[in-house]
Structure 1
Amino acid sequence: MTINFKKTYRFAVKSALYITLFSTGLVSFLTYLFFTFSYRFSSIFALAIATFSFVVIQYRVERFIYKKVKKIYDDVSLLESSTFRNQPITTDMATLTREVKKFATDKKLEIETLKGREEYRREFLGNVSHELKTPLFMVQGYLSTLLDGAMNDKTIRKKYLERAEKGVERLIYIVQDLDMISKLEIGELNLEIAEFDIVKLVQNVFDLLEMKASKKDILLMFDMKYNKPVLVVGDQEKIQQAVMNLIVNSIKYGKEKGSTEVSIEDLTEHKVIIRVTDNGEGIEKKNIPRLFERFYRVDKSGARTEGGSGLGLSIVKHIVEAHDEKIYIDSTFGVGSEFSFTLEKAKVIKKLN
């Protein structure tokens, strides 16, 4: 570390002034008593004493402070602070105080961030364990029952094997979703960008989910009749998955005999916004910031009875952000929810890596 003396002369100037006044006064008095008094001699003497005193005091004090401050820098450097390692040592106490305060604040934020990540890691591992454990135990239970003798009964054998298969399918579904999110996060999942009709895509999703919605007598509909195609740019397969996940979520948490409405609107000259609105149970404000976390469920018990991996909304967020677009949520508890995301219009094609 290099030395950078911050020149704050106040202390040295005052000390030198006191010494000069005393020394000059004493010499002038002695000269007056024993010799012929001379103003010129007194002035030169005073200037010499003042200069000498100032230099000595300034240097000595700064060296003293430097030794003390250097120890602080050395102690702090043990904590591997890049800020302190890259900056020269200063003897200005205000600067030192500011730097130490900044260092302490940064470390506090870093510790809080690490605590938050650790809490998230524990919760995530607990959720993964729970999500995988349920179908695994289900498969294990059915297979164990068959091995214990139930295999001889054809009816039971077929029923239990079908249930075990459903458990395996759920495991595969969870693993595939986790794999997709991981690839989206690190940018390994390449998007096949092309023009497509978002109206037709939404209608295809309606057709695929019609039976699922009919079980709760939920009506899937557009907000209006779209007579012309609405062409957008994106990965059609991934956008279809995002729309499907949003509509499945609206069905899962929707009310009996409710509805899910999709609207496609011009947001700007180059953007459209797709809105998926339901009149379900809605979401409390405290839960909204965490909705897109992996495995996060508003209803910890009821949601699992509906199936799914608990990764649907997280996948939607990653797919939308992979397209360089935004996703929004507006929900009122007890009234319903609206999830929306933007897409580029087909006439403005933007390359995405």
Structure 2
Amino acid sequence: MSIKLRLLLSYIGLLVIPIILLVIVSFFARFYYIGDFQKEYPGVDTIHKAKQVVAERDAIFSTIKQTALISPQSFEDEDFLFYYEDKLNGFNSGLIVRKNNEIIYSPLRMTNIIEENPLPQFGEYVYEQSYPLDTTIKGLQIYQHDFFFDDSSKGSVFMITNVEPMMRSMQNFINMLMISTVVILILTNGTLTYLVAGSIVKPLNKLKTSANRIREGDLDFEININSKDEIGELSNAFEEMRKRLKESLDTQFQYEENRKELFTNISHDLKTPITTIKGYVEGIKDGVADTPHKIEKYINTIYTKTVDVDRLIDDLFLFSKLDLSKLPLHLNRINISKYMVDLLEELNFDLEKKNVMMNYENQVASSTFVLVDVMQLKRVIVNVIENAVKFMDKSEGIINFIVNQKDDYILFEIRDNGQGISKDKLPYIFDRFYRADPSRNSLIGGSGLGLAIAKKIIEEHSGEMWAESIEGLGTSIFFTIKISKSGDTL
């Protein structure tokens, strides 16, 4: 759920939830206050019942008013007054009769009311309605009807209803609703704010902690925030950034380790021939080579080692360019079948001198073209073949060169019958300066960069190179080159 939708729902909840809760509270509170109200007004348990009771009370007062018109002298009859007083008592009401300015009838329970509240004067309220307008004095509801006694004296009959319990219950009900409203709003707002803010703040705090750890260089952890919103997307972006930073630092560390290893290997491979050269030069200087034959032998050895050093430097220079992808490729579109025939014919001459037989098998259509740097492709093939010859342990060596067409690329296989490579060493043969012989025996020569350079060149041609080997039977080196169509580029 998105943060926007979450906030919208929380706003709706802030409106709807308090209303629902107030309705529920009002529903149950009504029963409590009606019970309190019934102590003063027995039998009144619903609004409809209250209206019915009021109507009955008003009907009694209407009868009293009619009596005042027909038989005003009845208001001086105590039995008549007691009769209606008894009926009004159930409505928490009572009658007061005034003749001129003298109270001639008043129930005992109304005495304090008369003393504390002055009654309206004669003629102040004259209404013909069956439900006369009322006035409330300190919780009293007063109904007045004026008439004349038979002796022409001014008379007034009052029906007084004590509404203070009703007002008190209503005020308590209103106060309870106001307090409930405040409490409900505080609880609802606090709860929703805690839930919504918690779902936002907690993940943000995790992101803040993660950012601080990244800032301090600690990348060995995982940012895991299970949230399907904007914060979840942000955390995924942070996690991706952390992974890339870690990969970058790991790669940098590996480069640094490789650089150290490279310097070590270069130092070792340069020191061996230089030490040899130095030894032979000292031999000549010290007169150890005291015959023309020895001097010639020493000079030839010095020359051979110098050539090895020069070749090592050339290979290092080439590999560094390949490693930095700064070696320019001079691409040409060539017919691969014709190219292979010419190249292998040239190489076969040298292989015969080393008692190695070359077998060539071409399964590529004669009209197939590839886009390659001719000199660099030759370097790849020469490096692989020289490596095969170098480690040949058979008296009659055989190298099978097979070219196949696979979909949109050419698959080259150079297979020898040499000593093979063990499974634990096979994954490392394309590493720079790697030699299968852990003692780094340099008797067979070489810089240890031949296969590493070959693989880099093939990768620069958007191809792949790998090896398969069976120890004791031989090794196969595979590499691919894309087939070229007219107008193709790498």
Q: TM-score, normalised by structure 2?
A: 0.55
Tell me the amino acid that sits aligned with residue 263 of structure 2.
L
2:416 to 278, 282, 289: 278
Pairwise mapping of residues 175-186 of structure 1 onto structure 2 (< 5 A)? Answer: 175-186=313-324
Q: Residue 304 of structure 1: SS of its match in structure 2?
A: coil
**Where is the helix percentage greater, Structure 1 or Structure 2?**
1
Return the alpha-carbon distance in structure 2 between the equivalents of residues 337 and 198 of structure 1: 21
Return the alpha-carbon distance in structure 2 between the equivalents of residues 220 and 37 of structure 1: 113
- Alpha-carbon deviation of 1:171? 0.8
Q: Please say which of residues 172-181 and 202-211 is displaced more in the overlay.
A: 202-211
Q: Is the 8 A contact 2:384 2:454 kept in 1?
A: yes
Q: Residue 305 of structure 1: SS of its match in structure 2?
A: coil
Verify: 1:297 aligned to 2:435, yes or no. yes
Q: Is the 8 A contact 2:388 2:416 kept in 1?
A: yes
Return the alpha-carbon distance in structure 1 between the equivalents of residues 416 and 452 of structure 2: 19
Give the aligned partner of residue 51 of structure 1. Answer: 185
Give the aligned partner of residue 350 of structure 1. Answer: 488
Verify: 1:244 aligned to 2:382, yes or no. yes
Return the alpha-carbon distance in structure 1 between the equivalents of residues 485 and 340 of structure 2: 14
- Alpha-carbon deviation of 1:125? 2.5
Verify: 1:198 aligned to 2:340, yes or no. yes
Q: Residue 72 of structure 1: SS of its match in structure 2?
A: helix
Q: Which is higher, the Rg of structure 1 or of structure 2?
A: 2
Tell me the amino acid that sits aligned with residue 271 of structure 1.
Y
Q: Is the 8 A contact 1:139 1:168 kept in 2?
A: yes
Return the alpha-carbon distance in structure 2 between the equivalents of residues 39 and 202 of structure 1: 108
Number of aligned positions between the proteins: 327
Return the alpha-carbon distance in structure 1 between the equivalents of residues 437 and 260 of structure 2: 19
Q: Is the 8 A contact 1:209 1:248 kept in 2?
A: no
Q: Residue 442 of structure 2: SS of its match in structure 1?
A: helix
Give the aligned partner of residue 331 of structure 1. Answer: 469
- Alpha-carbon deviation of 1:114? 5.1
Return the alpha-carbon distance in structure 2 between the equivalents of residues 110 and 6 of structure 1: 38
Verify: 1:260 aligned to 2:399, yes or no. yes
Q: Is the 8 A contact 1:260 1:276 kept in 2?
A: yes
Give the aligned partner of residue 294 of structure 2. Answer: 156
Q: Is the 8 A contact 1:198 1:231 kept in 2?
A: no
Change (3 A) 1:182 1:105: closer
Return the alpha-carbon distance in structure 2 between the equivalents of residues 318 and 72 of structure 1: 42
Tell me the amino acid that sits aligned with residue 215 of structure 2.
L
Tell me the amino acid that sits aligned with residue 349 of structure 2.
D
Q: Is the 8 A contact 2:273 2:305 kept in 1?
A: yes
Q: Is the 8 A contact 1:183 1:189 kept in 2?
A: yes
Q: Please say which of residues 63-72 and 324-333 is displaced more in the overlay.
A: 63-72
Pairwise mapping of residues 92-103 of structure 1 onto structure 2 (< 5 A)? Answer: none
Change (3 A) 1:230 1:121: same
Tell me the amino acid that sits aligned with residue 342 of structure 2.
K
Q: Superposition RMSD on alpha carbons, in Å?
A: 4.4
2:350 to 204, 208, 216: 208
Give the aligned partner of residue 76 of structure 1. Answer: 213
Deviations 1:146-166 (A, max 9, x none): 122246532222211111111
Q: Is the 8 A contact 2:422 2:471 kept in 1?
A: yes
Q: Please say which of residues 71-80 and 301-310 is displaced more in the overlay.
A: 71-80
Q: Is the 8 A contact 2:371 2:489 kept in 1?
A: no
Q: Please say which of residues 62-71 and 292-301 is displaced more in the overlay.
A: 62-71
Q: Residue 427 of structure 2: SS of its match in structure 1?
A: helix
Give the aligned partner of residue 284 of structure 2. Answer: 146
Identity of aligned residues (%): 23
Q: Residue 331 of structure 1: SS of its match in structure 2?
A: strand
Return the alpha-carbon distance in structure 2 between the equivalents of residues 258 and 74 of structure 1: 62
Unpaired runs of at least 5, structure 1 = 83-89
Q: Is the 8 A contact 2:399 2:415 kept in 1?
A: yes
Deviations 1:61-108 (A, max 9, x none): 9599679668636633633799xxxxxxx9x9x959967887876676
Tell me the amino acid that sits aligned with residue 79 of structure 1.
E
Change (3 A) 1:232 1:68: closer
Structure number with the bigger relative contact order (C-alpha 8 A, sep ≥ 6) is: 1
Verify: 1:132 aligned to 2:270, yes or no. yes
- Alpha-carbon deviation of 1:136? 1.1
Return the alpha-carbon distance in structure 2 between the equivalents of residues 254 and 223 of structure 1: 21
Return the alpha-carbon distance in structure 2 between the equivalents of residues 186 and 317 of structure 1: 14
Return the alpha-carbon distance in structure 2 between the equivalents of residues 55 and 227 of structure 1: 80
Q: Is the 8 A contact 1:193 1:236 kept in 2?
A: yes
- Alpha-carbon deviation of 1:6? 11
Deviations 1:140-190 (A, max 9, x none): 111122122246532222211111111111111111111112222333322
Q: Is the 8 A contact 1:234 1:344 kept in 2?
A: no
Return the alpha-carbon distance in structure 2 between the equivalents of residues 70 and 336 of structure 1: 56
Return the alpha-carbon distance in structure 2 between the equivalents of residues 189 and 333 of structure 1: 35
Return the alpha-carbon distance in structure 1 between the equivalents of residues 193 and 365 of structure 2: 86
Q: Is the 8 A contact 2:363 2:405 kept in 1?
A: no
Return the alpha-carbon distance in structure 2 between the equivalents of residues 333 and 160 of structure 1: 38
Return the alpha-carbon distance in structure 1 between the equivalents of residues 367 and 276 of structure 2: 46
